[in-house]
Structure 1
Amino acid sequence: MAFSFRLGACLAILAALLHVTVATAPKTGPSSCQKTEFWYKDAGCCLPSGGPPKPPPPPPSDSDCPPTSHYWGQKQGCCVPRNPAPPNNPPPQCRKGWQWVPALRKCTHEPTKPNNPKPAPSPKPKPGHGGGSGGGGYGHNHGGYGRRSTSMKSRSDSLCPQGLDACHIGGLGSREYECIDASTDLESCGGCTSTGQGQDCTAIRGAWNVGCEAGRCAIYTCAGGYRLSNDRSSCIHL
């Protein structure tokens, strides 16, 4: 009788301990996310819908995140999405020169192709045009080809090759610029966004994959919870 009582008491204590353990164990999975969050299965965590409220830290120098859909998750050590992936789960879109690596969940540099151009043969001097101090000889650049003034010019066609636009880097007061093709550039589609022209296709809310076609942003895929507008210019929240 005493043995049965002791056994029953031990079982009751054990059941109570198991109940406390189960009650205090942290929840994991989609059910653990709040209404303003979604479950990111690849990293096994809840993420804020639409991205973090504050600007996230930049990724390491050897990494990059798809600008239209992801940001660097410091806790996860990889790129995480701002919104759930579309139903067909297409790969996210990296910047030019980067490629998405699913195993690392980030963009890495594309491998450079070997380029071994054959050296061009030295031109033979024409009569009366020998090198050195001869009039019009080789080594003289009378047309200014290949020269670039150190001062900023006002017209973009004087800064970049034909068909490209010179866009300021770091604001209007900066003297640095980059040459872009505004008809296809994702971040300055249709014009230099640094001067208030064009559109940054990577900043379209809810976009997963986008492109710049003839100077206009075109969305190919919207993130989960969004649908594509009829003109493919925006993603509408459901």
Structure 2
Amino acid sequence: MTLITRIAAAVTLLAVVFPLASAHATENKGCTKKEFWSTLNACCLPIGGPPSPPPPPPQGSNCPPSTHYWGRKQGCCVPRNPPPENGPPPQCPKGWTWTSTVRRCEPIPTPPSNPPPTPSKYHGGNNHGNHGQHDNDNGGGDHDHGIGYNGHRQKRSAHWKSRSAPLCPTGLDACPISSMKSGDYECLDTTTELESCGGCSSIGAGQDCTTITGAWNVGCEQGSCKVYTCAGGYIRARDGKSCIPI
């Protein structure tokens, strides 16, 4: 090998190694061993999240519970661990969707409800007044019957409450809403419900799949949590139900 050939080979080697070293330095940006470089946020972030509880997101915003927290300085949700390479978007709580442009969870728009039905001529409004006048013309017999009808409806409601009827349709569980007043509940399919997988999490049953440490995307299949993707620094456990730090 001639001297010129050796010089050319050395230059080629430096051209390959130098960009790699530069890229590595750019990724670290002076981060400590307990931090990682976040390209999206252009800063070093603590691995696993901050040591003290972070502030709650502002009203109208939310963060993926197990993978992100609200970064006050960044003004958005920041990851607790490096995002997986070519991974899916982070998973927001139920009723929220991830908006990548502002890096936060935003409420899923609720479709407008149907307008209330038009009152019948026997219940309220001018028609009710006409009906009342008609009753008076007939000696009040129909008017008394109308009062009796209302009373009968109230008794039926009370009778229904006293019956031991199921609270939810078949296949759904009545889960108390812990944040609401006593007696309020929601009907959930605990075989697929992400935050009450296998049982009502509000009463300590089942599991909230969104709280699995290190999980990036999860699901609830037949009442059991399943991890699809782990954040950087974690690998899926063999049973697919958790993420193991590496």
Fold conserved between structures, TM > 0.5:
yes
Gaps of at least 5 residues in structure 1 are 1-26, 150-154
C-alpha distance 195-137 of structure 1, shift in aligned 2 (>3 A):
closer
Quote how far apart the aligned CAs of 1:177 are: 4.4
CA–CA separation in structure 2 for the residues paired with 1:147 and 1:52: 52
Give the equivalent residue in structure 2 for 1:217: 225
SS at match of 1:132: helix
Quote how far apart the aligned CAs of 1:110 are: 1.7
Give the equivalent residue in structure 2 for 1:40: 38
- Asked if residue 179 in structure 1 is aligned to residue 193 in structure 2, the reply is no
Quote how far apart the aligned CAs of 1:148 are: 6.5
Quote how far apart the aligned CAs of 1:80 are: 0.4
- Asked if residue 132 in structure 1 is aligned to residue 146 in structure 2, the reply is yes
CA–CA separation in structure 2 for the residues paired with 1:123 and 1:138: 18
Cα offsets for 1:64-123 (capped at 9, x unmatched): 011131111111110001111111131111122211111101011122323445847959
Give the equivalent residue in structure 2 for 1:71: 69
Quote how far apart the aligned CAs of 1:30 are: 1.6
Quote how far apart the aligned CAs of 1:146 are: 11
Query: Quick check: 1:65–1:79 contact (8 Å CA) kept in 2?
Result: yes
Task: Give the letter for the 2:212 counterpart.
Answer: I
Give the equivalent residue in structure 2 for 1:9: none
Quote how far apart the aligned CAs of 1:37 are: 0.8
Give the TM-score normalised by the residue count of structure 2.
Answer: 0.68
CA–CA separation in structure 2 for the residues paired with 1:44 and 1:203: 26
Matching of residues 19-30 of structure 1 within 5 Å: 30=28
Displacement over 4 Å in runs of 4+ = 120-124, 136-139, 145-149
Cα offsets for 1:161-185 (capped at 9, x unmatched): 23222235169xx736432522233
Quote how far apart the aligned CAs of 1:147 are: 7.4
Greater per-residue helix proportion: 2
Length, aligned pairs only? 198
- Asked if residue 208 in structure 1 is aligned to residue 220 in structure 2, the reply is no
CA RMSD, aligned part only?
Answer: 3.4
Query: Quick check: 1:66–1:95 contact (8 Å CA) kept in 2?
Result: yes
- Asked if residue 49 in structure 1 is aligned to residue 44 in structure 2, the reply is no
Quote how far apart the aligned CAs of 1:35 are: 0.5
Task: Give the letter for the 2:201 counterpart.
Answer: T
Quote how far apart the aligned CAs of 1:142 are: 4.3
SS at match of 1:209: strand
